[in-house]
Amino acid sequence: MALKELSARPSAQEVMRDAPVIPVIVLQDRAHAVPLARALLAGGIRMLEITLRTPVALACIEAIAKEVPEAVVGVGTVRSAADAQAAAMAGARFVVSPGYTRSVGKACHDLGIALLPGVATGSEIMMAQEDGYTDLKFFPALQSGGTGLLKAWHGPFNDVKFCPTGGITTANAQEFLALPNVACVGGSWLTPADALAAGDWARVTRLAAEAAGLKRG
Ligand code: 3PG
């Protein structure tokens, strides 16, 4: 199926509704960035969250933005306005944060870049909503209450969509995706560290294709 054309800066809705899974990626080596992005794309996954957890993360974002324009490179583990600004400068097209602060929300708003803010409580959902954010990352999903908490939130927060992340695997992804308030899930299982170290891009493509084939509820 041909992928829908996206603007340079997709909305949070577009980011969360593109594929059933957003890969959470930790890159240790800049040389892995482009082949990894191509491997995920070949499996049908183009929204890529590169986490700011390694010294090469910004260089990896820059490389993917320049060399794999069909992918939509985003940044994860954004914990400050400065993180968001640096990643946007490097070419990130969306931002994911493990929690929510007003300064990160304002920075992304000012940059005109989509933010999926991390929440784990009702108060955090309300704060993000107050600032206009209604497409949220639920993190850490499994550890914070998993599908039971999502079902409970669907009552008071039925206008919010979530991307549960943290503890999601092929074994439980479908259970999350079946819920009406889950737009997609996030996870690191598509990009195992040993596959990256070995340059086993075919394995990454297989994992991506399997993830792309998951059904939403
Ligand atoms: C994250 O790092 O954002 C999530 O913890 C990814 O969680 P996972 O490794 O359990 O998929």
Does 186 reside within a domain? Answer: yes
Whether residue 3 has pLDDT greater than 80: no
- Parallel, antiparallel, or unpaired for β 72-76 and 47-51? parallel
- Enclosing domain of residue 19: 12-212
Query: What was the pLDDT predicted at 5?
Result: 74
**What is the spatial distance between Cα 21 and Cα 185, in angstroms, rounded to a whole number?**
5
DSSP 8-state symbol, 200: -
Per-residue pLDDT, averaged over 87-91, amounts to: 98
Q: Are 88 and 113 in contact (CB under 8 A)?
A: yes
Pocket of ligand 1 (CB under 6 A): 24, 140, 165-168, 187-189
Q: Are 39 and 72 in contact (CB under 8 A)?
A: no
Does 7 reside within a domain? Answer: no
How much is the mean pLDDT over the chain?
96
For residue 188, the ligand 1 atom closest to its alpha carbon is: 11
Number of domains in the chain: 1
**Nearest protein Cα to ligand 1, atom 4:** 166
CA of 102 to the centre of ligand 1 (A): 23
Does 5 reside within a domain? Answer: no
Catalytic machinery residues:
49, 137
**Nearest protein Cα to ligand 1, atom 7:** 166
Does 175 reside within a domain? Answer: yes
Does 124 reside within a domain? Answer: yes
Query: What was the pLDDT predicted at 1?
Result: 46
Does 4 reside within a domain? Answer: no
Three-state DSSP state, 167: coil
Q: Residue 86 is part of a domain; what is its CATH number?
A: 3.20.20.70
Q: What is the pTM of this model?
A: 0.96
Token reading at 151: 């079902």
36-82 per-position pLDDT tens digit: 999 999 999 999 999 999 999 999 999 999 999 999 999 999 999 99
Does 153 reside within a domain? Answer: yes
Does 104 reside within a domain? Answer: yes
The alpha carbon of 84 is separated from its chain's Cα centroid by a whole number of angstroms, namely 14
**What is the spatial distance between Cα 101 and Cα 90, in angstroms, rounded to a whole number?**
22
